[in-house]
Amino acid sequence: AQSVTQLGSHVSVSEGALVLLRCNYSSSVPPYLFWYVQYPNQGLQLLLKYTTGATLVKGINGFEAEFKKSETSFHLTKPSAHMSDAAEYFCAVSEPFGNQFYFGTGTSLTVIP
């Protein structure tokens, strides 16, 4: 069985500061990993994904995440927060070509001017 843990349901950062959102997973096989972002009153949008190849993946809006197998982590980072980054962020995992997607409980990011 697979599961996803997002540490910190609420994260606040100052504008221009580093954003770090944590995600750990458990999986019996190397999974596919995803970060989704949800802006108010919208659906979830794919930020980035890791499926194969380079473990540091870059996504939209300056976000990136690194797959660390030894730590079973896939933390999301952005060097400099922008006001428009305020949103809910979800980490998700699936088995390669598997049916199921498992989502974390989400982290709400607040950016302080």
Select 81 or 106, whichever has its Cβ closest to other proteins. Answer: 106
**Least Å distance between CB 103 and other proteins?**
5
Select 79 or 96, whichever has its Cβ closest to other proteins. Answer: 96
Whole-number Å distance between alpha carbons of 33 and 68:
11
**Least Å distance between CB 93 and other proteins?**
10
Provide the binding-site residues for other proteins, judged by CB under 8 A.
Answer: 29, 32, 34, 36, 41-46, 49, 51-53, 90, 92, 94-101, 103, 105-106
Select 3 or 80, whichever has its Cβ closest to other proteins. Answer: 3
Whole-number Å distance between alpha carbons of 11 and 20:
9
Whole-number Å distance between alpha carbons of 112 and 19:
12
